[in-house]
Structure 1
Amino acid sequence: SKVQKLNLFCLWSVSVCFSKLTCEEGHSGPTYESMQAVFDLKPFRPAVNLSNPTIANISFTLYAVLGVNEKTQILSTFLWLRLYWHNEFLIWDPEECDGATRISLPVKHLWSPDIIVYEFVDDDVSQACPYVYVNHTGHIRWDRMLRLVSACNLEIFSFPFDVQNCTFTFGSYMVSPALTFKEMSGNSKRYLEASGEWELVDILGETSILQFGIDEWDIITFWVVIKRRPVLYVVNLLIPSSFLMLIDILSFYLPPHSVDRASFKMTLILGYTVFLLIMNDLLPSTANGTPIIGIYFSVCLALMVISLLETVIITNVLHHSSMKYQEVPNWVRVVVLKHINSLTVGVFVRNCNNLAKSLDVILCNPSFPVLGISAMPELSQICQYLGDLRAHLTSLQKESELQDQWCHVGYVLDFLLFRIYLLLITFYALVIISMWCVWISQS
């Protein structure tokens, strides 16, 4: 019956607790028969007086950061977990046991504290440690490996210069830290310094009591602060993007009237788009927001499109004189050409026009005698041809002047828009660099 089992347990526990484990001559450590009585009490907390709490001390060393999944907000780490507690049944006299002060026992045969990690979101697939170390005073140390897959609120806005602060909450009925948080942080930094993408900044923590109704749980909350090493992303993302932007800026020095600058810029935009598609897997993504580096790439692409639009505008201005005798508007003259000297005319056109005028004066003036001979009909026809030639040269001169005016308008606008584009890019770069510098200094 239940009463008989309870009485048997009470008698058994009293006989065990008030008598130490026995040893036999020639054996280093307690006998198996004396420990078997302790093994049979595994379901019960190892305390002589059940009103006395069994305190479990816990510490861990962060050995590796296995992965960070920004989309699912999960942090995978590998911990070396160490537990301490006192078993009042496992006590012996070393002098009677051939000087043995510590033995190892299977953990499956002993009572162990119930340690719960509240952020755990997956099964522990790490290798189990089957043995514990037991001191002759009854103090037990259990070293185990723990692959902890935990939920963590990951902030990726400052990627790749982000710092993550994840929480590990260990709970039990009676638990306290075995080492100070500073010691745990120092041990973790010593083992984690050779690990890949992440480096440990600090481990902080506090102990508190969590209450569920009438039940109270002791919990230890650890804040593990880790920082991403940004060198990989700076080399693979930021530097190539900066080079492409530099090429886009230098393309403004191509002569817009003799080189197809628009085709060059379109090819550059296409190359930048392919670059973003290739590098897309390196960028983190969450449903909550977009990292600033993604905004940086989008703005860079937008600036390239603006640069292409500027080239289209300048090309249109330079070819605006293709319509005959289209004058430059007055407001353009005032705004754009106010400080530009009068345009020069081509030497060839000017000389030809002067020659035509001279011939016209000499040959086509009826009152001007030519070697004392009156003007003949052939001379009149020549004068007509010269008049047509002068009209044609005048038209060419006017077109040349208009073309030169529109070219000057185009070059002035190109100079102005290029300077505005440089100021825009400089301001944008300073904002991005200052923001990242602030985050780096704060971390």
Structure 2
Amino acid sequence: MLPAKKVWTPHLAVKNAVSTTLEPGSKDLLVFSNGVVVHRVLMHIVVGCDINLYSYPFTRDSCPIYLDGKNAMGCGSIIRVGEIYPKGNERGDWRTDSVGDVRDENGHTYLWVTLSTRTFNPVVTLIVPSILIMMADMASFSLPLGGGERISFKVTLVLSFIMFLIILADILPGDSRCSPLIRCHFCVCLISLVISMIASMLLTRLGADGSVLPFSLPRWRPRRAEPSPPEDSPNTAASELEVQSTVTEPKPVETALQRMVDYLERVTTQDRLAHQRKSFANKLDNVCFWIYVLFYIVYSMVMLYMIKYYMCVVDNLEF
């Protein structure tokens, strides 16, 4: 038994470490007569590793720990890894699936750590709320266009989703070369909510006024100038006499009945036009609803394909 400070011990470092703390397990070590030294070293290592977060929260990737037993001049020890006992592999949001040693063709030794995310918490807090908000937006098509109930409900959905994204701004994984696909998912959800709100506003305007513009265009038509007969025409006096002789003053009862008939015709025409506008707006609303249903089906299939089959490649050995 000799003091650890009095005996030469092999150099041990981690090449891709951000910070390393090395301390002996005990102040003494054991030296045999054949030169074998039994020594215990405790290393606390923080490793910088690019984890592929493209399919987050369904992430599974590996991180190498490059063990180096040689100094800057190339002299030192060859590291051989024996048995590995992972501890604390179920803590936090990440799970340690396996730890093994790998030796490349240059004789370098790596501790290959495979990590995966615990999917329950991210799915419940990220994916499920966004899906429920989109389902509520689709269910809002059952509300009538008139009255403003649908528009107020859609505005509430948009504001709620924006607040949801503001809260998650610091929780989502950071942007890297393989940016998480869930960021694109939130962006598509927000754009679809805004488009749905704008479409409902335009359809409400169309059903009420027959136009999607916020203002009515002036209908200006030039009046045709009627030719006036010359003053010295001999027919002018005769026509004036004829008009005076044919014009008779109508009776008051007939005038009141004619005004009532004209008013009822105008009201009937306006009601018919309003009904036609509402029917046309409802047809367009049904078309928009089925377009949204088709879009969400196609979008879900594309997202499932991107998560399952498309892989963003990250070189973890690029130190």
Q: TM-score, normalised by structure 1?
A: 0.56
CA distance in structure 2 between the aligned counterparts of 1:195 and 1:105, rounded to whole angstroms: 38
Corresponding residue for 1:425?
A: 296
Corresponding residue for 2:16?
A: 119
Task: Tell me the CA shift for residue 121 of structure 1.
Answer: 2.0
**1:402 correspondence with 2:273:** yes
Task: Tell me the CA shift for residue 386 of structure 1.
Answer: 1.0
The aligned amino acid for 1:175 is I
Q: Deviations over 1:76-108 (max 9, x none)?
A: xxxxxxxxxxxxxxxxxxxxxxxxxxxx54322
The RMSD of aligned alpha carbons is 2.8
CA distance in structure 2 between the aligned counterparts of 1:410 and 1:197, rounded to whole angstroms: 49
CA distance in structure 2 between the aligned counterparts of 1:127 and 1:404, rounded to whole angstroms: 85
Task: Tell me the CA shift for residue 380 of structure 1.
Answer: 3.1
CA distance in structure 2 between the aligned counterparts of 1:208 and 1:409, rounded to whole angstroms: 70
The aligned amino acid for 1:268 is L
- In the TM superposition, what are the counterparts of 1:31-430 in structure 2 within 5 Å? 105-124=2-21, 128-131=24-27, 133-134=29-30, 136=32, 139-172=36-69, 173-179=76-82, 183-184=83-84, 187-188=85-86, 191-208=87-104, 219-321=108-210, 380-430=251-301
Q: Provide the secondary structure at the position in 1 that maps to 2:307.
A: helix
Q: Which structure's CA Rg is the greater one?
A: 1
CA distance in structure 2 between the aligned counterparts of 1:310 and 1:380, rounded to whole angstroms: 54
Q: Provide the secondary structure at the position in 2 that maps to 1:148.
A: strand
CA contact (8 A) 1:163 1:226 kept: yes
CA contact (8 A) 1:262 1:312 kept: yes
CA distance in structure 2 between the aligned counterparts of 1:228 and 1:286, rounded to whole angstroms: 17
- More RCO (CA 8 Å, sep 6+): 2
* Structure 2: tracts of 5 or more residues without a match: 70-75, 220-249, 312-319
Corresponding residue for 1:359?
A: none
Task: Tell me the CA shift for residue 204 of structure 1.
Answer: 4.0
CA distance in structure 2 between the aligned counterparts of 1:268 and 1:405, rounded to whole angstroms: 30
Q: TM-score, normalised by structure 2?
A: 0.76
CA distance in structure 1 between the aligned counterparts of 2:165 and 2:280, rounded to whole angstroms: 37
Structure that is richer in strand per residue: 1
CA distance in structure 2 between the aligned counterparts of 1:115 and 1:127, rounded to whole angstroms: 11
Task: Tell me the CA shift for residue 439 of structure 1.
Answer: 7.8
The aligned amino acid for 1:117 is V
CA contact (8 A) 1:265 1:308 kept: yes
CA contact (8 A) 1:158 1:439 kept: no
CA contact (8 A) 1:201 1:226 kept: yes
Q: Provide the secondary structure at the position in 2 that maps to 1:154.
A: coil
The aligned amino acid for 1:174 is S
Task: Tell me the CA shift for residue 438 of structure 1.
Answer: 4.9
Task: Tell me the CA shift for residue 382 of structure 1.
Answer: 1.6
CA contact (8 A) 1:163 1:227 kept: yes
Count residues with an aligned counterpart.
270
Q: Taking every aligned residue pair, what percent have the same amino acid on both sides?
A: 25
CA contact (8 A) 2:97 2:116 kept: yes
